[in-house]
Amino acid sequence: MYFQLSEEQLAVRDAAREFAKLELLPGVVERDTNAVFPKEQVKKMGELGFLGMMVDPKYSGGGMDTISYVLAMEELSKIDASASVAMSVNNSLVCWGLEKYGTEEQKQKYLTRLASGEVLGAFCLSEPEAGSDATSQRTVAEKKEDHYLLNGVKNWITNGSSASIYLVFAQTDSQKAHKGISVFIVEKGWEGFVVGKKEDKLGIRGSDTHSLIFTDVKVPFENRIGEEGFGFSYAMETLNGGRIGIAAQALGIAAGAYELALAYSKERKTFGKPISQHQSIQFKLADMATQIEAARLLVHKAAWLKDEGKDYTQASAMAKVFASETAMNVTIEAVQIHGGYGYVKEYHVERLMRDAKITQIYEGTSEIQRIVISRGILR
Ligand code: CAA
């Protein structure tokens, strides 16, 4: 067992930390207040290689390991979880599956542009009546002579309006339930594809979450990924990795709030001394630091298993459920340590507390993670 990060991994972490401080921090409160997508910042993240970190350099990726990816995710999420979820979706939910299961033609046409950050991708599984119960897909792709005809509605889609390339799940054979689900690459601008309502959210307000409407959209055969019926398995495998990214995001939100609370506790004085010298605050800081360290170990373990080519299904679910609950606990305590100042926007911790909540919901709720973990235990 070896807990030391390599020189390269440390360099990635430091670059992400620097980028977050210089490029994400300015304007983060305003972007949150006005629900503005960090367009320029995400573009720069692409230029720096943060949007296709693990993709093979021959497809314009960074060729890095998953540990480097979670280190970068943690650092960016300390400051701006809206920017980091755009990164997580592009890396884990879009590039990963395309690289693993796409044809050479699909990789040349789509993956290279996604990995370089030239365009953003979105992962379109959820529907108005298919969230946790993801097998209940109602979107349909009907096979015609030389194309599929796509009809349906997707909900809660991250990068909904900013993306150019969408991975869309649809039933190609409803008789076969989840084994009749397939996955397609759809481009923005195709006739019949409309970006719908933007959600007005509690947290990650800078992330553009939309519904998407598909009406008789013609999808060429060559845009199906894998065989017909492979879509649900593709979604589950992809989400196993995606959950490591969201766990790292939750870890970053917790660590960001903790760092702010620690610094504040050394400055703020009550009853004649810094509040960090009151045991009630010291115990809070001790619990926060311990939970964060435990979450980091779970996140790194899941990332390491993935890098080693071992099964990470359970590990990623454990990392996500624990890190997201840590993010919620730690951010609530960070607000409490800040007292009244914690409740106003300029001190950042109230935003982190609002951002933390979604990590217990998207890419599989905490309840779904517990299903995945318990099935693994009882198998
Ligand atoms: N890894 C690999 N395969 C899995 C799997 C996993 N974690 N979980 C299930 N499967 C496989 C099963 O082995 C089974 O395969 P076979 O039919 O070949 O045996 C198949 O999937 C169906 O599984 P179940 O019979 O267990 O189906 P179920 O309906 O009882 O449970 C579920 C499935 C685990 C609850 C699944 O629906 C699920 O994970 N739901 C959550 C969906 C989710 O995470 N949505 C997030 C949306 S994306 C998002 O949030 C992105 C964003 O924009 C940020």
233-278 residue pLDDT tens: 999 999 999 999 999 999 999 999 999 999 999 999 999 999 999 9
**SS3 category, 351:** helix
| pLDDT bracket for residue 29 (50, 70, 90) | very high
Domain boundaries, the chain: 7-119, 122-228, 232-378
Q: Is 122-228 a CATH 2.30.29.30 domain?
A: no
- Rounded CA separation 41/236 (Å): 30
Catalytic residue numbers, as ranges:
363
Please tell me which residue, 2 or 83, carries the higher pLDDT value.
83
Rounded to the nearest angstrom, the distance between the alpha carbon of 169 and the centre of ligand 1 is: 13
Cβ(6) – ligand 1 distance below 6 Å: no
pLDDT band at 1 (very low <50, low <70, confident <90, very high): confident
Ligand 1 neighbour 83 (Cβ under 6 A): no
pLDDT for 140? 98
pLDDT score of 186 more than 90:
yes
> Ligand 1 within 6 A of 237 CB?
yes
Q: How far is the CA of 5 from the centre of ligand 1 (A)?
A: 32
Average model confidence (pLDDT) for the chain? Answer: 97
Determine the residue of 85, 87, 154, 236 to mutate for testing ligand 1's pocket, defined as the one with the most ligand atoms within 8 A of the Cβ atom: 236
Q: Domain 232-378 carries which CATH code?
A: 1.20.140.10
Candidates 100, 123, 239: which one to mutate for ligand 1, based on the most atoms within 8 Å of Cβ?
239
DSSP 77-119: HHH-HHHHHHHHIIIIIIIHHHHHHS-HHHIIIIIHHHHTTSS
What DSSP string runs through 124-151?
E--BTTBSSSTT----EEEE-SSEEEEE
Selection from 72, 68, 62, 73 nearest residue 95 by Cα: 62
Closest to 77 measured CA to CA, from 254, 304, 335, 342: 254
Give CA–CA dist 142/281, Å, rounded.
60
Q: Whose CA is nearest to atom 20 of ligand 1?
A: 233
CB 344 within 8 A of CB 329: no
Quote the ligand 1 centre to 364 CA distance (angstroms): 9
Ligand 1, residue 159: give the atom nearest the CA. 53
Q: Nearest Cα to 323, choosing from 110, 109, 111, 74?
A: 74
Mutate to test the pocket of ligand 1, among 91, 94, 178, 183 (most ligand atoms within 8 A of CB): 178
Task: Tell me the mean pLDDT in the region 293-322.
Answer: 98
Q: What is the CA(74)–ligand 1 centre distance, in A?
A: 26
- The SS3 of residue 284 is helix
The answer to whether the CB of 126 is under 6 A from ligand 1 is yes
Q: How confident is the model at residue 379 (pLDDT cuts 50, 70, 90)?
A: confident
35-59 burial, b if ≥16 CB within 10 A, otherwise e? Answer: bebbeebbebbbebbbbbbbbeeeb
Residue 339, pLDDT > 90, answer yes
Percent of the chain with pLDDT over 90: 99
Fold of 7-119: Butyryl-Coa Dehydrogenase, subunit A; domain 1 (1.10.540)
Which pLDDT value is given to residue 16? 98
Nearest-atom number in ligand 1 for the CA of 362 is: 50
pLDDT at 121: 98
Looking at residue 2, its pLDDT comes to 82
Asked if pLDDT for residue 331 goes beyond 90, the answer is yes
- pLDDT tens digits for 102-142? 999 999 999 999 999 999 999 999 999 999 999 999 999 99
